[in-house]
Structure 1
Amino acid sequence: MARFNRKEEILKSELPPTLPLMALRSTIVYPLGTIAVQMGAPENLAILRGSEDSGLVVALVVALGDHEEAINPESFVGGVGVAARVHERINLPGDTVQITLQGLRRIMIDSIDQHDPFPIARIRAAREVLPDQKECDELMTRLVAAAETLSGLVDRIPHEVPAILKMNMSDPGRFGDLAATNMNFRISEKDEVLQRLDVGERLRFVLSRLEREVGRARVMDDIKRQTEVKIDQHQREFYLRQQLRAIQTELGETDPGEKESQDLQKKIDEAALPEKVAQEARRENERLRMLSAASSEYQVIRNYLDWLLSLPWNKRSGDEQITIPKVMEALEKKHYGLSEAKERIIEYLSVRKLRGGDPLGPILCLVGPPGTGKTSLGQAIAESIGREFYRISVGGVRDEAEVRGHRRTYVGAMPGLFIQAVRRVQVKDPVLMIDEIDKMAHGGPSGDPTAAMLEVLDPSQNDTFVDHY
């Protein structure tokens, strides 16, 4: 009853027709509310210095926009403000004054009568429009429920707020102002509440903002719970893995993944790989060590390292010098006739021998009907010079990746036919015969393998051939 009488007393109190206009940027006080605020703007300090009397009444308005922008008093004409009484002043360092403001009632700003040294506004009391009591009760009940939910989800909302709102349900206008004050609305939303003289619209506006905050808080709470579950799970896994490692250390055992990585590192060191290849292998092994064995990428890297380590980077099979008589003997031993083909082979190897084994020489092409001994001639050449022999059949090949290899990003990726051949013979200098090259498919959705083969067969560039894998 005392609170109701105090409100009636404030509303019935007469206000002067003009009041000093004090613009606030970051806060506002509603009627019957009290707030402490620090003043540093020159116009506001001029108001306080112009009247040192206790009980100074001012017109408060909200100045929206950038803090660096100058305030135009004319922009507040026609808007709603709050008449407030200055109760307490405390001088602070840096030309700042802290004052306590008590809101009295809503007012309308009709005009600006003075601009310097501080603005003075002509005001009149604002009249609020009360809605139907039943609608008010429904809106306030929903607001209390939303406030209770939000206070349980958000730490910054005190748990006492719903109780405070329930105590003021007899005054719908004051109820809306209290909800806006205690729910940490943005200053623009607080000003929106201040401007609404229709109490029903004010309550609906506050309810819409509050229900939006409740929805947002629920989403954030769900995300927080899921994150906490994942963190707890990761911490549990980490703790168990540490325990497992400690037990394995005590038993003289090591983690299987760590042991595999160590074995691979040992193989890399013993393989005497070329510098760039060894550097890439160590980098991939380090990536493998950081991955879980259940990861899909783990097996991709493991296969890649297996291929690197299985290739014959330094192993040779043939003689450094080509012995022409030995070649002639091998050709005559297994083939009757074919004098032109034998002659061209001897000529080719003789020139290669004179040029010191120059790898940039031409590539022999054997042409003839099936069964004339093309493949066996190649095999005889390999045997005569002590090289491993491997036949690559490319008949019907229609995918470029069969020649250049697949990229590692694809499932089931493998190197091309030439890297596979070198791995099978386990020497770096075999005699490779590309058989049935005339039966390769020309073009298609998977690329043109004949175009890829051009790089392989060109002596001037095949020494820089790079497999995609």
Structure 2
Amino acid sequence: MPTLTDSLIVVPLENKVLLPSVVLKINMRGRDAVALTRKHLRFSEQRKPTYIACIPLTGESTAVVEEDAVALKDEGFIKAEDKDRLFAYGCTARIVRVQRSGLGAFTMFVEGISRFMVDDYFTHENALHVKVKYFDEELEENETSDEMIRFKALVREFLAKMKDLNMPENLIGQLTKLIDSVSPPVLADLLVSVIETSFDEKLTMLATISLKERVEKASEWMTRQLHVLKISEQVHSSVEGKLTKKQREFYLRQQLEAIKKELGETEGGSGAKEEDELDQLGAKIEEAELPEEASTVAQRELKRLKKLQPASSEYAVARNYLELLADLPWSKKTDDVLDIAQAKQKLEDDHFGLDHVKKRIIEYLSVIKIKGDLKAPIICFVGPPGVGKTSLGKSIASSLGREFHRISLGGVRDEAEMRGHRRTYVGAMPGLIIQGLRKCKVNNPLFLLDEIDKLVQSSHYGDPSAALLEVLDPEQNNSFSDHYLNVPFDLSNVLFIATANSLDTIPEPLLDRMELISLNGYTFEEKLYIAKAHLLPKQLVAHGLVKGQVCMKDEVFLKVAENYTRESGVRSLERTIASVVRAKCVQLADLREQDKEEEYDPNVSLEAIEEILGMAYYEKEIAERDPVPGVVTGLAYSGSGNGGILFVEATKMPGDGNLELTGSLGNVIQESAKLALSWVKSHAFALQLTTSPTGKMIEHDDIHIHFPAGSISKDGPSAGVTLVSAIVSLYSGYHVPPTTAMTGEISLRGQVLPVGGIKEKVVSAHRAGIRKIILPYRNRKDVEQDVPEKVKEDIQFVYAKNIWDVLEAALVMNETDKWITPRVYESHL
């Protein structure tokens, strides 16, 4: 044992008291803990014990004290200013074992040796040390009296009661052996650490010098603990005899929860918590203000849910269903923003052109403002990709102040994705409509049904397009029923906007329920404005540049649009502009690395475009065409909303009057070719085509008609006038100028019938450099209504009622010698 002159390093104890003969676990970390551990290891090698002074801490601390550990700081175990918190008494301890418990953290097991009184503190090697005063604790003769005998008897009674209560047997066995082998004062210190005593009582025990007083205090506290154990045993026995099986289970469950709570192992899945959550769910259902029918179903399901066990599968299904009912916006809606001027400005800022679309939206808003309420229309935007159908829906939602939700219908093949699954199926869930409403949290959002023409129809999973009939019918969707929800939900407040590239694949019943608004392709002038106002600023932000760091003039934009993209929309144009911006980013980055940023030129020239993007992808188709008899330019329309020009080439050879058609042609266009040949043969005399340069009759020639780009399928009746003009040009020697194009269907009598896709065809012809277009007379209204004014100014339009008007406007011998209408023509008028 250390002598009175020994100095010991101070290890303060937070909320703990170490008594002699007691083993205590202490957690320590920091620089001093490492030093103490090294000292212990060094002494262990020399077979020397390592002693420390364990002193309890009292009062408020100015240092951060770790739970269940000493006051730990890297500069020492305790701050110098906190030494006044140290108790006046302590216990010398011997380090028994040290184990690492983390980075710089150690767990020490110490055994109490002897109590002492603090004499003085001093600092040595940056650690607080203490000089101590020990006491003589030898047992006197008069202290081996009856009091000590009664104390040992009390200890035996206490241990017997612990055994009756199924306390740990190893602890009881060790204490039983110590009764006769150690002195009563030492036994008193051990038992005070075992029984329930407060921190203050343990401090009192540490500060008690008299052996007799320590034994008396230990006897007093053990007697108190013994009474508590007896009363607990009596109450437990009395209550246990009266409990039924269910009460016993409840009691045991409550005890288990209490034990878990003390151990910190609670998982939040108790029955009481489940009941609280169900009460909260019921309150949430009340707040949702469900309609009468839905409220009745919800209350019935809630009562059923309370009777189910949480572990059952039906419990999860019922709870998910009730949570859906509570989350749906039965009565929540947003107020429409009815500022017409602001809505106009918003639409103008977001989109260039599209006047007829903006006009329809403004009409809708105006009626709402006048009437106060209006059944939402079902609008379908039809047009080629990239013309702004989806972004237009976002702008409408923003101008109305409504929530926006997009539902992509491309490739949807299961009817249940629209109307939901029955709850009897595993993993059942509501349809896309109800899920969207749950996400929006209001019952009047704007739903964009994107790519409605891409729905899979009539598969073995059902017909999802048929499931949309109820959704998109303003007369029926006020009571839409989802299979999972199984109660009606009012969709009449939802504004549905659908988008499609083509109407061909949309079923007629579904098409009948929607108001169609066509969005046609952009002209070069419109693309120029869009690129300058929207695309270039957007790409500058996306690439971390600011306004002015990339500058493109109008002719540069037009060159990119004409020679590097060929589309109705602006997606390819945006990607191409992004390529130009990236190239300028490379230039700017290189100059910054060389500290020559002032040499950077933000302007993009026409020559730089070819360096950045390479050679032009597209040239104007008519640029390489020479006027040749038998070659005529027609106009075509693709199903994706794009227009284009189409060349028809005809040649003849001696034969038996057969017609050969090539170029991946469909049935309709083949019939148009046969019809054109029949009309030319029947009017060959009037057309002065009865003989060819070789002198043979037209009936004895084989005619071969070819449509270039043979890998692309072609069909439709609009090439009728083009085919007639090609055959007549072939036999007459007159040609059709490359800058003249035509479209129209012909009848057997020579009438020119109207065709569709006029705006797309005209705009594509304008892109290709066509300056004269021959159209059916009945398509005149389409030109006046849909074709942009800039295109009208650049193109001469000729409207033909019959094929004679077409031939007269199209065929020329040279620039001054035009087709001379035969005299016989008068008889055909």
TM-score of the pair, normalised by structure 2: 0.27
The structure, 1 or 2, with the larger RCO (C-alpha pairs under 8 Å, 6+ apart) is 1
